[in-house]
Amino acid sequence: MIEIQHIFKDFGKFKVLKDINLSLNGGECVALIGPNGSGKTTLIKTVLGMVVPSSGIIKFDGENIQNKYSYRKEIGYMPQIGQYPENMSIGQVLDMMKDIRKMPEDQLDLDLYHAFNLPALLDKRMGTLSGGTRQKVSACLAFLFNPKALILDEPTAGLDPLSSEILKNKIQKVMNENKLIIISSHVLSDLDDLVSQIIYLQEGKLMFHKSLQQLKIDTGTDKLSKAIAQVMSVPNQTK
Amino acid sequence: MNKIIRYVFVDLLRNKTIIFYTLLLFALSVSVFSMEDNYEKGLVSLLNIVLFVVPLVSIVFSSIYLYNSAEFICLLVSQPLKRGNIWLSIFAGLAGTLCLSFFIGVGIPTLLYAFSSSGLILVGCGLLLSVIFVSIALWTSVLIRDKSKGIGLAILLWLYFGLLFDALVLFMLFQFSDYPIENFMVGLSMFNPIDVCRILILLQLDLSAMMGYTGAIFRDFFGNALGMSITIAVLFLWAIIPLWLSVRYFKKKDL
């Protein structure tokens, strides 16, 4: 579904992404892992067209996304830090998004909307919300339009245990619908029972892209967190 | 595209600064017109206020608004929307609101008290200046990421167009007073939209007699249809070029 070919990105002298090549398909749940500043968010933003790569091609469903915008209809994006206009209420933000996406009301996926009890908060202004409630709004918006691909950047950061469990259940449910899910997270214990594949980035380079089972076999461990800890401590082992 | 314009527009109409700006302009124009018995005198007093306040509010308010809605723009960019359309919609919303404020604040009193060609030109110039300075603000705020630097530059640009440019022109006039530079001065004035507007309106008011030989040259140029159309074209270019540059940059910007 998403093809990333030879992507480079630099901010001035600082090279953030160096020759990333990836091929991701529907039905996969991919974990994007790497130390802070390894280029995870930048990679996600290039797929969304928010950051324009210095060179390289990204294809969504076989089409080059450069200067295109309609492909974003098929992507639900949950940002790391949800930034919304401060003086709009939750209800207004939701209405605006529905207005932009033009999806009939009966096709909307309202599971998270109800599970997070957002109807009770519709009148609250975005500026007054706590970090966790913002994350709930972001999550709800990402799933709302039944997208083919979901990109979740640190989805569980800031959510309380109950809410993050709701979100995890939702992700598992959606996985069975042949959608592509990309999760970037540092909470590896959350990922263990969700993801099928691991992408490991370090200093803007793709270190490996393999299935979770393969990674566990290669490192001889039974937990993702242990496997990653081993990879991080011996960075050249899997090169 | 229309939706985003509507959101920006509704958001701006509730903005306290815009309401205050409208009321301020309205109070100023009504009081100026009721103080002067001759409407032409009123127009001249109003002209100086308009040429001072409108560019200042347009450029500074637009810059602040753009920096404050960075999140909103970020959110829109991740949606299935064309980047160019997002930027143009924000421009349309900002320019539309500021023009509306100006029209309510200055346009309506002028049409009521001083319905004349000079009055109409004053209103037209004010509307154009609003659009021009919104367009300049769009360009500077897309280039500069840092909020305080961006707003600082907006104020500097206003100072330049409002005061420094005239000082430079005066300096040159005195330095080269022995040479025939009148035609050159006409060309030079095109580099400042505020000056163009000032000349346009003053020439309508029979005050050009006070401006000596240069005034005569100006009258000669701005007075005929060709000069007039060139001037208006220049003013439109002042609105379009910064906007076009900002759209071009925004399409490639990393958010």
Q: How confident is the prediction for chain A on average, in pLDDT?
A: 87
pLDDT at B158: 95
Angle between helical axes of B83-102 and B16-35 (0-180°, round to 10):
30
Query: Within a 10 A sphere around the Cβ of A134, how many other Cβ atoms?
Result: 18
A101:B255 CB<8 A: no
Q: With 70 as the cut, is the pLDDT of residue A235 above it?
A: no
Q: Which has more pLDDT, A82 or B151?
A: B151
- ipTM above 0.90 for this complex: no
Is a pLDDT exceeding 50 seen at residue A239?
Answer: no
For A53, name the nearest residue in chain B, comparing CA atoms only: B254
Write the pLDDT tens digit of every residue in A122-166.
Answer: 999 888 988 899 999 999 999 999 999 999 998 888 889 999 899
- Which residues are within 8 A (CB) of A145 and not within 5 positions of it... i.e. 6 or more apart? A73, A76, A97, A101, A103, A108, A109
pLDDT of residue B142: 94
Q: Which residue ranges of chain B lie beneath pLDDT 50? A: none
Q: Give the model's pLDDT for residue B179.
A: 83
Name the strand (E) or helix (H) holding B140. Answer: helix B117-143
**Chain A interface, Cβ < 8 Å to B:** 11, 45, 48-52, 67, 69-73, 77, 79, 83-88, 96-97, 99-101
Rounded Cα distance, A221 and B83, in Å: 46
CB contact at 8 A, A196 and A204: no
| pLDDT (0 to 100) of residue B138 | 95
* pTM, to two decimals: 0.88
Rounded to whole angstroms, how far apart are CA atoms B202 and A183? 65
Please say if the pLDDT value at position A237 is more than 60.
no
Q: What is the pLDDT of residue B149?
A: 95
Residue-wise pLDDT tens digits, B129-186: 999 999 999 999 999 999 999 999 999 999 999 889 988 888 888 888 888 877 788 8
Q: Cα dist. A50→A11, A37, A77 in Å?
A: 14, 17, 11
Name the 3-class secondary structure at A70.
helix
Alpha-carbon distance A190 to nearest alpha carbon in chain B (angstroms): 26
Which pLDDT value is given to residue B31? Answer: 92
* Res A102 pLDDT > 70: yes
Do B81 and A69 make contact, defined as CB atoms within 8 angstroms? yes
Cβ separation A50–B77 shorter than 8 A? yes
Q: Which residue has the higher pLDDT, B134 or A102?
A: B134
B81 to chain A, minimum CA–CA distance in Å? 6
| pLDDT tops 90 at residue A103 | no
